[in-house]
Each structure stands twice: as C-alpha cells, then as structure tokens.
C-alpha cells in the first residue's frame, strides 16, 4: 500500500455481485453486469466518452474499484484525473507517463512472477511485443505470420540461455545475443567469433551447465545449426520482426520507464490503485501502443491469478477491478478473448469503446473478422450511441432482433346508380326516378416481421449531447439474458447527462 498512497486505511469497496452501479429508472445495472463486460460503440461526436463511458467510470470508482486505464488520446488521463477527483479517489491515482517517476521493468517482473511457467507466460510477454508491433504497423497475417512464428521460436531459444548464465533478462542482452549470433557454419567455426561474440560466450558458458539442465543443449544447437543455416533473407526478416520492435526500449524514455527499476506493479490495482498508462498512442505512436499492451498483458495474468482472502469457509470477496480502453482497437490483443471469457470469476470489469466494428476488425491480426467477432461476443452488455457506419448499425439491429409488426390498409368503394323513366299523356305527366348511391370502406390488418430498431435509427434518432440537446446523450443498451422492465424488451433507450 505504501508504494502508491499515504493513507493508512484500506480503500473500501463493494464485492457483492448484486451491488447496483447505475440506475435507468426501474432498471438497474449491477456489478454482475459489469464483470461480464461492456462494449460501447459510437461515431465521432456521438457522446460515448462524455456520456455512457463517463457514467460507467464514475460508478466503478464510487464502488471502490481499482483498475488500469489505457490511453489512446492525449486527454484521456486528464479525464480520469477529473473523474477520480469527483469520486473522492484522487489520492489513488498512479500515472505512468513520460516524466518517468513511475517505472515498471517488465522483464524483471515477468521473470519474478511468471518464471515458474516459463514456456507459457514469460515467453508470451515477448510474444505480446511482436504481436503489438504487427497490429500497430497495420500489417495483416499472411507471410507476416510466418516471420512472427519464427521470431517467437527464435526468442524461445534466447531466454533460457540468458537466464541460465546471467540469472536475469534484459532487452539489451536479448538484442545483443541475436545481433551477434552466427550467420553461417563458417562463422560458427571462426575463432574470432568464438572469442568476441556475446552469443558465442553465452552458449559456451551454458554448455558448462548442461548436466543440470539438458535442455540448454537444445537451445545452443538451435543457434549453431538451424539459425546459422537460414538464408540471409529469411534470417534478416525474422530478426527484424523482433528487434525492430524492441530497439526503442534500449534508449530514451521507454528504457527509463520499462527497462530500469520498478516502483509500480499491476497488483496495486487489486488494492484500489487507478493506474493511468498515460503514453497516448496519438502522441507516442507505436511505442505507446506496444508498451501499454505489455502492461495490460501482465495485469491480466496477475488479475487471473488472484485468490480470495479470508478463511476457506468465509472467503472475503475479491475487490472488483476494471480495465478501461477508449479507442480499444489500439489495445486489443489475441489474448483478450481468453481473458474476458473468465473475467467474471476474476471480478474483472472490462469496458472497451470503439467508434465502429470495421475499426475493431482491422486491428486483430489473427482470425481477422472472425477473431474480432469472437472477442466482441465476450462483452455481454452493449451500449450503442449514434453512428453512421452501416456495418455497425446493421449488426446492432441484427443483434436486437426482429419483432412482429402490424400494418393497416384501407380501401374505399363508392357506387352510384342513376335511372329515370316516364310516360306522357295529353293532360298530365307521369315520371319515375330510379337513382341511388352506395359507399363502402374495408380495412385490412396485416402482420410482418421487421427490426425492432432499424439500422437507420442509429443514424439520426439518438441525441449526442451539447447545449442544443440540453447535454443529453442517448444510447440503446442491450444486456444478454435481460428483459428490461421499462421497455419490456431486450433493449432500453437510456439518456446520459454530460454535466453529472
């Protein structure tokens, strides 16, 4: 606790899943809804950030949650500082920013906490880096998947050697080993390379430890045979897939923040800290994206590993925690699908916001649209603001579903009959009138199936805040398995006040 706040008293929180967080008239959004995930969509200027996202953030903070905030835009951290102040949680803010007062050596942390499962989680930290770089570059899978898979295998043969010989990992050592690895069999046999190469010295030192760890021989042979025998083109492509991503961590602010010492941990959020990853993508580009994804991955692993406190017979409920990502397409990873599938048991409340589904689809390199749909399906509450994207609006209408509607039509019939007859006599006239008029109206009532909310409703029927709309922001909300009391349907139209 002392690492992030001066208060001696723990931060109170609500752990009961029945705890109400937001009210929509007679309908209530509870903690149980929050831990099943929320996905918010809405076009630019729709009011999603100042409307529903702000309402959720305030509700989570008032409930005593800790969490992690991803920052895509430069004003995101400022917004959250304001939320925390309004909720009385200002003292719980921890900010990782370019000032580098708060630092997180991710490799030291990963080795210390995940080293027992080396082949899985520790290697996944490195995998997260290459995946993040691929997504931020806008590259698709295809041939790039081949280079990513081989880069992952390459790194998997570096880490055991470095840990065995030096007892710790650094980005500098990983890069130095790869850069000095042999590129031919002639180099393997070269005495100068054997004497001066960092890779050669490391492999030689590891060979002395093979009796206690036979796997080191396999890792050494990889570099002396397979890696050395690759074609120059293949080798350079595989190497650059990894090293081009991590080189920025060797100098400047990223080195200071993530490769020196540690005074902030993901677990701090489990005690109520609000960790702002204030390295906005719009300012720091790919490196802001990659570094936030690294922290997010390790936070997810730590959050999944939590165990309830208290006794076995009377365990204390876990403190709910959140991960909040506006413009979430910058921060989604392949592991998110797995994490959010079990987030409820970990009491992790995910709130992801994006403008439209195509933006979401374009950022996931594995599985493409199907992979994105699988992840989207993990968010059991959808909040949909105004939008002009036809894919997003059509998906919203399809998800809400169709209902039976009635249409009345009328038909009017008018009949006129005219007739006249008579007989003339000398002194009088006899005449008969045989005219008539008839009118009939028939009404036909027909039924048909149609969208409960048609796609074009999201285009022009939802308010987007501002003074012109009295600062009201409208949204359609759907929660899986719920029939809302107010609407008696599976959706409700809610209004959020930007001023509250």
For residue 336, the domain's CATH number is 3.40.50.300
Q: Is the separation of the CB atoms in 402 and 448 below 8 Å?
A: no
Among 395, 427, 454, which residue terminates a domain? 395
Q: What is the DSSP string of 389-419?
A: -HHHHHHHHHHH-EEEEEEEEEEEEEEEE--
The reported pLDDT for the residue numbered 185 is 96
Q: What is the DSSP string of 231-265?
A: -HHHHHHHHHHHHHHHGGGGSHHHHHHHSS--S--
CA distance 181 to 200: 7
Choose among 330, 381, 327: nearest CA to 354.
Answer: 327
Query: 245 with 290, same domain?
Result: no
350 forms beta bridges with 323
470 found inside a domain: no
Domains contained in the chain, number:
2
Query: 117 with 248, same domain?
Result: yes
Q: Angle of helix 232-246 relative to helix 142-156, nearest 10 degrees?
A: 80
167 found inside a domain: yes
DSSP tag of 10: P
CA distance 428 to 416: 30
CA distance 355 to 327: 7
Query: 346 with 231, same domain?
Result: no
Token readout for 356 is 């439209």
CA distance 301 to 287: 21
Which is it for strands 274-277 and 309-310: parallel, antiparallel or unpaired?
Answer: unpaired
Contacts with 90 (C-beta within 8 Å, 6 or more apart), sequence order: 81, 84
231 found inside a domain: yes
Query: 83 with 162, same domain?
Result: no
Query: 140 with 241, same domain?
Result: yes
349 found inside a domain: yes
Averaged over successive runs of 10 residues, the pLDDT of the chain (500 residues) comes to 53 93 94 98 95 97 98 96 97 96 93 67 74 60 72 90 92 95 96 97 96 94 96 92 86 92 96 97 90 94 88 84 96 91 96 94 70 91 97 96 80 62 52 60 79 95 94 96 94 92
The reported pLDDT for the residue numbered 310 is 72
Residue at token pair 């949650």: 65
The reported pLDDT for the residue numbered 2 is 45
Query: 282 with 389, same domain?
Result: yes
219 is in which domain, residue-wise? 106-252
Contacts with 473 (C-beta within 8 Å, 6 or more apart), sequence order: 46, 47, 48, 50, 51, 52, 385, 463, 464, 465, 495, 496, 497, 498
**Alpha-carbon Rg of the chain, whole angstroms?**
33
3-state helix, strand, coil in the chain (%, to 5): 45, 20, 35
CA distance 282 to 91: 27
Query: 242 with 300, same domain?
Result: no
Among 218, 252, 286, which residue terminates a domain? 252
The reported pLDDT for the residue numbered 408 is 73
241 found inside a domain: yes
Q: Is the separation of the CB atoms in 152 and 243 below 8 Å?
A: no
Strand order in the sheet with 472-479: 93-96, 274-277, 66-70, 321-325, 348-354, 38-41, 381-384, 472-479, 491-497
Residue at token pair 């992952």: 152
What is the pTM for the complete model shown?
Answer: 0.86
Q: Angle of helix 106-114 relative to helix 281-304, nearest 10 degrees?
A: 10
User: From the CB of residue 271, how many other CB atoms can be counted at a distance below 10 Å?
Assistant: 18
Token readout for 336 is 């998110």
Query: 227 with 275, same domain?
Result: no
Token readout for 411 is 């038909």
The reported pLDDT for the residue numbered 170 is 92
Query: 371 with 292, same domain?
Result: yes
Query: 111 with 248, same domain?
Result: yes
283 found inside a domain: yes
CA distances from 47 to 27, 279, 353, 461 (A): 22, 23, 12, 13
330 found inside a domain: yes
Among 336, 371, 395, which residue terminates a domain? 395
H helix intervals, 138-197: 142-156, 159-166, 171-179, 185-189, 191-196
339 found inside a domain: yes
pLDDT digits (tens, 9 = 90+) for 402-451: 988 777 776 776 666 555 555 545 555 555 555 566 666 777 778 878 89
Query: 111 with 237, same domain?
Result: yes
Query: 41 with 156, same domain?
Result: no
H helix intervals, 323-389: 336-341, 357-363, 368-376
């Amino acid at each position: 606790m002392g690492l992030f706040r001066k208060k001696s008293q723990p931060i109170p929180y609500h752990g009961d899943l029945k705890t109400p967080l937001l009210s929509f008239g007679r309908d209530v959004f509870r903690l149980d809804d929050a831990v099943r995930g929320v996905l918010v969509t809405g076009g630019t200027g729709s009011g999603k950030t100042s409307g529903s996202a702000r309402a959720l953030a305030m509700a989570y903070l008032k409930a005593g949650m800790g969490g992690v905030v991803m920052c895509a835009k430069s004003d995101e951290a400022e917004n959250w500082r304001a939320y925390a102040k309004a909720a009385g949680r200002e003292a719980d803010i921890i900010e990782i920013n370019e000032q580098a007062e708060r630092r997180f050596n991710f490799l030291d942390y990963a080795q210390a906490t995940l080293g027992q499962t080396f082949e899985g989680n520790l290697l996944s930290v490195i995998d997260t880096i290459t995946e993040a770089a691929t997504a931020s570059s806008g590259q698709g899978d295809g041939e790039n998947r081949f280079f990513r898979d081989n880069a992952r295998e390459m790194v998997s043969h570096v880490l055991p050697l470095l840990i065995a010989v030096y007892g710790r990992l650094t980005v500098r050592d990983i890069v130095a080993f790869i850069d000095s690895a042999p590129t031919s069999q002639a180099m393997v046999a070269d005495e100068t390379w054997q004497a001066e190469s960092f890779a050669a010295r490391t492999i030689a030192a590891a060979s002395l430890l093979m009796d206690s760890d036979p796997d080191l021989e396999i890792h050494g042979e990889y570099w002396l045979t397979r890696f050395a025998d690759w074609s120059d083109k293949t080798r350079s492509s595989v190497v650059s897939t990894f090293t081009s991503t991590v080189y920025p961590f060797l100098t400047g602010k990223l080195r200071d923040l993530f490769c020196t010492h540690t005074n902030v941990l993901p677990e701090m959020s489990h005690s109520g800290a609000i960790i702002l990853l204030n390295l906005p993508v719009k300012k720091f580009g790919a490196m802001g994206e990659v570094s936030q994804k690294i922290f997010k991955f390790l936070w997810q692993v730590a959050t999944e590993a939590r165990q309830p406190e208290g006794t076995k017979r009377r365990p204390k409920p876990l403190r709910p925690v959140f991960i909040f990502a506006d413009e979430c397409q910058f921060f989604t990873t392949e592991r998110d699908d797995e994490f959010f599938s079990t987030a409820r048991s970990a009491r992790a409340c995910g709130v992801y916001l994006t403008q439209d589904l195509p933006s979401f689809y374009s950022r996931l390199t594995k599985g493409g649209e199907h992979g994105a749909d699988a992840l989207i399906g993990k968010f059991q509450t959808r909040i949909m603001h105004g939008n002009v994207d036809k894919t997003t609006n059509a998906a919203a209408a399809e998800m809400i579903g169709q209902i039976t509607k009635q249409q009345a039509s009328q038909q009017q019939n008018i009949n006129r009959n005219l007739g006249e007859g008579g007989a003339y006599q000398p002194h009088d006239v006899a005449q008969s009138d045989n005219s008539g008029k008839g009118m009939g109206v028939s009404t036909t009532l027909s039924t048909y199936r149609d969208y409960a909310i048609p796609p074009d409703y999201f285009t022009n029927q939802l308010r987007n805040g501002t003074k012109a709309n009295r600062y009201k922001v409208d949204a359609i909300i759907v929660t899986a398995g719920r029939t809302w009391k107010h609407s008696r349907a599976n959706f409700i139209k809610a209004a959020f006040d930007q001023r509250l």
